[in-house]
Structure 1
Amino acid sequence: YGPKFFRPYQDYQAPVYAIPGNHDWYEDLAGFMRVFCDETGPLPPAPAPRPLTRAWLRSLLWHRPRPGDGERLDEARKLRSSPAQQAVQPGPYWAVDAGPIRIVGIDTGLLGTLDAEQGAWLREVSRDPRPKILVTGSPLYVDGEHHPCPIEGGGTVDGIVRD
């Protein structure tokens, strides 16, 4: 985050809201949550996955936050420390009311899906009558192909957007 976020945006005097991308998930959102959601405590250890599953393979290939990562992020954060630059997101998905529009950021994780809790939240914030802009790491259309973004338990993000 130091060279790719804090340094390039150090002179930008406004808050920045973000959605996690696939690389943020490589460390189970630890860095993302520290930078954008002000999570400073240690993350609880992830439960051990069942052997020979996708989660097990992922645990072997992906890295966890390393000792010292938090301190390095805290040092980089000093580059954007003025009060005008501060924003604390409630989590990896959010809604910001900006006058006549609502900007909605969703976290589609690694698989381009939403869990049931985020799906319920998206339905709720989408009821507001204002026009909305959806910010997502997994677009609904890519190279002319439709990717409706399934929601655990039923429905799709595309269905909510169309409503």
Structure 2
Amino acid sequence: MDATELERFFFRPPAESAVVRTAQRRLSSDLFRAPRLQTDRSPYHLDLADVLPTRARAVAEAKKLVFHTVGDTGGVNGNGAQINVADHMAHQINNSTLPDQPSFLFHLGDVVYYHGQDEAYHDQFYNPYQDYPAPIFAIPGNHDGDTEDPEETLGPFLKHFCARTPSHEPEAGHSDRPTMIQPNCYWRLNTPVATIVGLYSNVSGELDNTDKGETTQRDWLVDQLRTAPADRCLIVAVHHPVYSFGKHGSTLRVRQALEFAITTSGRPPDAVLTGHDHCYQRFTLKRDGRRIPFIVAGAGGFATYSDLTKVREDTDPPPGVKLEAFDDDHPGFLRITVEADSLIGEYFTVPKAGKEKDPEKLRDSFKLDLRTHKFV
């Protein structure tokens, strides 16, 4: 199947919703697990044109890319909120046209709960997103890597997101969504106006086994920041939050690895997208005259409508960091718009149960000037 054949699966008229089953809750582990790397696909780059060739050309011509992003979606606790979020993202696609139409969802991890099991992908991924008419790219979260058999860590995730060729797996059921062809669990998406570097922060919240002094992914990150096109917006995505005032809190080892990569490469990202805490938070880091938004967008459905992570506003932030906005009451998702000279983020929340047909609400927005690296 070539890219043109793959693209025909997406951006078709919406189908009717289906009933989604729930799965049984399980416990998870905090142990680091060596990721399964597809080293023959190094340096782990994927071009948007490899999946959406005609759309990539349209994005290049318009010099504008729009996409959705959210994490922590797996509806193991009841997936009404997850479907609600998915349906409202789909509605934005179905009621817009290029260049303003979102081109994909970039998932921020924890696609399924609790142990990344293959059988969970039908109920928690393919069925809820059967009406989302665009590709879904992803980075793994801790639950995606926390398979019941430690030797099989990331096995199901790699099967569904890192296939060598697109296919229709049995777990897709009556959804015709094909597997994605990402080259690795951490990887880089090249688009005409933005570069997105996706990281894997493992089950334990670190890029590499720090206790053993390993630096494989960190060194790869240095190279990605160094070689990312200077004339394009640069976004880093990682599941564990660099900064968070939620239950899980900030992730020190991810922060240290990112800071090392920025310092070594000399190239800071324009924005950092994370999940893990089940709420929305937007921080600003002041660094070398820049303003860098660090966002937590982990209210994609797992926490249902009533169990979102509460934000502790009285937490003391690190130097140079400020909490700008948050929402810990509603499931929601982020829409990102990148143009030649700006990055715009808009956070939408979905209506409560029983009111799913009501429109989503814009709860927070920001615009970053990519020339001055300041908000406007």
The TM-score, its normalising length taken from structure 1, stands at 0.65
- Superposition deviation, residue 161 in structure 1: 4.3
Task: Quote the Cα distance in structure 1 between the aligned partners of 2:131 and 2:182.
Answer: 20
Pairing 1:87-102 to 2, within 5 Å after superposition = 87-102=180-195
Aligned residues: 126
Q: Which amino acid in structure 1 is aligned with residue 124 of structure 2? A: K
Match of 1:38 among 150, 157, 163: 163
Q: Which amino acid in structure 2 is aligned with residue 13 of structure 1? A: P
Task: Quote the Cα distance in structure 2 between the aligned partners of 1:138 and 1:21.
Answer: 8
- Superposition deviation, residue 86 in structure 1: 5.2
Counterpart secondary structure, 2:138? coil
Asked if 1:103 corresponds to 2:196, the answer is yes
Is the Cα–Cα contact under 8 Å of residues 219 and 261 in structure 2 kept in the other structure?
Answer: no
- Superposition deviation, residue 98 in structure 1: 2.2
Counterpart secondary structure, 1:103? strand
Task: Quote the Cα distance in structure 2 between the aligned partners of 1:126 and 1:33.
Answer: 24
CA offsets per residue over residues 84-143 of structure 1, 9 Å max, x none? x55311111111122221111100101211122211211111112232111111111011
Match of 2:219 among 120, 128, 137: 120
Match of 1:20 among 127, 130, 140: 140
Asked if 1:29 corresponds to 2:130, the answer is no
Aligned to 1:156: 257
Is the Cα–Cα contact under 8 Å of residues 15 and 86 in structure 1 kept in the other structure?
Answer: no
Q: Which amino acid in structure 2 is aligned with residue 74 of structure 1? A: E
The structure that has the greater radius of gyration is 2
Aligned to 1:47: none
Which of the pair has the greater relative contact order for Cα pairs under 8 Å at 6+ separation? 1
- Superposition deviation, residue 19 in structure 1: 1.0
Aligned to 2:327: none
Counterpart secondary structure, 1:92? coil
Asked if 1:143 corresponds to 2:245, the answer is yes
- Superposition deviation, residue 159 in structure 1: 3.4
- Superposition deviation, residue 9 in structure 1: 1.2
Task: Quote the Cα distance in structure 2 between the aligned partners of 1:78 and 1:121.
Answer: 36
The 1:79–1:95 alpha-carbon spacing in structure 2 relative to 1, beyond 3 Å, is farther
The 1:19–1:79 alpha-carbon spacing in structure 2 relative to 1, beyond 3 Å, is farther
The TM-score, its normalising length taken from structure 2, stands at 0.30
Task: Quote the Cα distance in structure 2 between the aligned partners of 1:122 and 1:79.
Answer: 38
Task: Quote the Cα distance in structure 2 between the aligned partners of 1:6 and 1:86.
Answer: 10
Q: Which amino acid in structure 2 is aligned with residue 30 of structure 1? A: G
- Superposition deviation, residue 150 in structure 1: 4.9
User: Which structure shows the bigger proportion of residues in helix conformation?
Assistant: 1
Counterpart secondary structure, 1:133? strand
Task: Quote the Cα distance in structure 2 between the aligned partners of 1:38 and 1:80.
Answer: 17
Counterpart secondary structure, 1:142? coil
Task: Quote the Cα distance in structure 1 between the aligned partners of 2:174 and 2:224.
Answer: 33
Q: Which runs of 5+ in 2 are unaligned?
A: 1-120, 148-152, 209-214, 269-376
Is the Cα–Cα contact under 8 Å of residues 161 and 179 in structure 2 kept in the other structure?
Answer: no
Q: Which runs of 5+ in 1 are unaligned?
A: 41-72
Task: Quote the Cα distance in structure 1 between the aligned partners of 2:259 and 2:175.
Answer: 35
The 1:17–1:79 alpha-carbon spacing in structure 2 relative to 1, beyond 3 Å, is farther
Task: Quote the Cα distance in structure 1 between the aligned partners of 2:198 and 2:235.
Answer: 8
**C-alpha root-mean-square deviation of aligned residues, in Å?**
2.8
